[in-house]
Amino acid sequence: MHHGAPSRRRPLDIVILIYFFFNLIFISYLFDLEQIVIINTSHFTYPAWPPRFIVDLSHWWGRNFDPLLNARPVWWRATIWIDALFFGPYYLCAIYAFLKRKNWIRVPSIVYASVMLTNVTIILSEEIWGPLATPHLAAVVGANASWIVVPALILYRMSREPFSERADRGAEQ
């Protein structure tokens, strides 16, 4: 039975897995959830979840670097709902599929990466040219870079059957 290339031969998969874990744990159900449960950052009551320090950190970032984050227009909140309802469960499935080397994750990964790249393009367009443009573009682009780079890497990784023996031979060379 073929068990696939050892993880040291699949460094891209390790990067992608770290990204999935980070987004599942910190983004989808901490920072993004804060943006769902708190609509108005000027007048709110701290929710039971996420923890107070996450709320405070998110609002601090919005005040100091990213006015769009605290403005929370409807279209922005729609992207947050997509993250909570679809990306979070995707991360769980993708972690399992990457660890167990399941090729069925290919199409969901292509869909995920395409939607993420679309969302981040729209968000960064507002950050650069919109009425809520950030005065700290380098910091905001840097903070969002992983959601451009890693989805592009996922598209590359999924361009063929990702966990086949042939893909492993290519990774070994």
Range of the domain at 81: 7-172
pTM of the model: 0.89
Query: Is a pLDDT exceeding 80 seen at residue 3?
Result: no
pLDDT at site 4: 55
d(CA 38, CA 9): 43
pLDDT range class, residue 23, cuts 50, 70, 90:
very high
Question: Per the structure, how many domains does the chain have?
Answer: 1
Is residue 1 in a domain? no
- Mean pLDDT over the full length of the chain: 92
pLDDT range class, residue 168, cuts 50, 70, 90:
low
pLDDT at site 8: 58
